[in-house]
Structure 1
Amino acid sequence: MGQAIRKRNNVQVLGSGRDTLIFAHGFGSEQSAWRHQVKAFQDRYRIILFDHVGCGGSDFNAYSPQRYSGVHAYAEDLLELCEELKLSDTIFVGHSFSGMVGVLAAMVEPRRFRQLVFVKSTPRLLDDPESGYVGGFSRAELDAFFDAMASSYHTWASGFAPLAMGNPERPELGQEFARTLSSMRPDIALALARTIFQYDHRLDLPRLKVPTLIIHSGEDLAVPNPVGEYMARRIPLARMMTIAARGHLPHLSAPEAVNRAIDTYLHATA
């Protein structure tokens, strides 16, 4: 079973240290997106990298549209990984939807996690006009988004990636995100997008009892400013840090700012 989990999620163990950092990538990305964080922390921490099933170097044969129809399955994978590597009291860093993966995993087995760090994470991307919640996308925008993915996935990926990345003066960043998006099987990408862009985990936030850092920044196509503020109000032990960065993947576009925020938080709570 152990090797199966490691192969399924392409698990890598790097660095050395008493404390363990687990990095979990977001939609359309893979573990290589954390390379700047690995470089900054691997001399002081043990680092766990992995790819969600259907992404990066994971075992695509392990993907099932039934199993992965919700974020809970990805949280189960994370807990299985923790069990396999005998991890507890870790620091979990999740980008985008992986923040909710961390929330759900920590609610089930809180002993596995000492702290959670969210990089541009969100409990819901769809606007909720009734409650006044601003998620970033209207229903009409999401329908058009899914239609574009379904009609010509690679064309959609090449157009969406630079918009999500931001930083148009550095086109290589958008090109990198387009490459990882394009490496996904289109059917998996569309199914995962439908899962992520339509989930609603707002009611789970107050139930989270693990100390949490919310790293926030402006000019994000997917996660507008009110989302970070909303999470900071709803998570009992949350702290928000706003960094100088643009786009949805600041760990790639502004790695020093992300690393500094993580470092500051970990030292302040040591």
Structure 2
Amino acid sequence: MEHPLVVGVDGSNASLDAVDWAADAAARYGIPLRMVYASRWERYEGQLPDWSTERSSERVMEETIVGVAAERASRRVPALDITTFLAPDAPVEALLAEGLRAKAVVVGNRGRGRLTSLLLGSVGLGVAARAHCPVIVVRGRTGNIRGGGCKVVLGVGERAVGTAAVTFALEEAALRGCAVEAVHAWRCAGTEVPEQCGAHGEYHAEHERRAQELLDETLNKPVAAYPQVAVERRAVEGAPGTVLVAASHAADLVVVGAHRRRGHIGLQLGLVSHTVLHHAQCPVAVVPES
């Protein structure tokens, strides 16, 4: 059975942005779109008697939210196969469960809670940290969300292991007909002589050489399977999170990998992933690596 693209909805403007992004993505992938609204309200406020035919106000609200979202996606992509699901669970747990049978999970930057800011909400962060499939957080400027930059940025970390994030970025670029900018950021260690870390210093040259080797080691094999995608390899001096946020200003999507911690449940979302998820100017995909 074909895995759908799952999108979390809650009626907020951010979730409607996620619906638009997910509808376009499902059309590119050629797969169904599944909309999920999750709430535990019945556990705390009680359920109607089994013999009652009256729908509660909460259930009416839930059905209205998913109905509006489904209609919006259908208008955007008329031929799209759309299903909806009202999950009797907390949003993070519901979306994690859906992610076990999904190509990816899409969430908005923030929900309908009282606190509003540019930072990522708890649902998006919780799903991105623990999902078994890629998670796309739809955030950033309107032009970037709509895909005006024609570029996918791939963050390449220190460990050249796992190709899931690379493959995800290449597939996205191929479907969009755009290029991939693979970025690895490095910094001189505090113990190194400052004079040798300048643009023409010995340590600078060595770090740059190692960065290019890491990029080649990470990219060469998966890139060969996507000859139609142009790939720029860029080694940059600076803090990785800051470098990727800067690159996001001209991107349609930033892709980062997340590695599992030994002996722990969930993914290791380090400082770089947190920085990008909270501050990128375009949607961010967090891809689990084995």
Bigger strand share: 2
Q: Which has the larger radius of gyration?
A: 2
* Fold match by TM threshold 0.5: no
Q: TM-score, normalised by structure 2?
A: 0.27
Which structure has the highest helix share of the two? 1
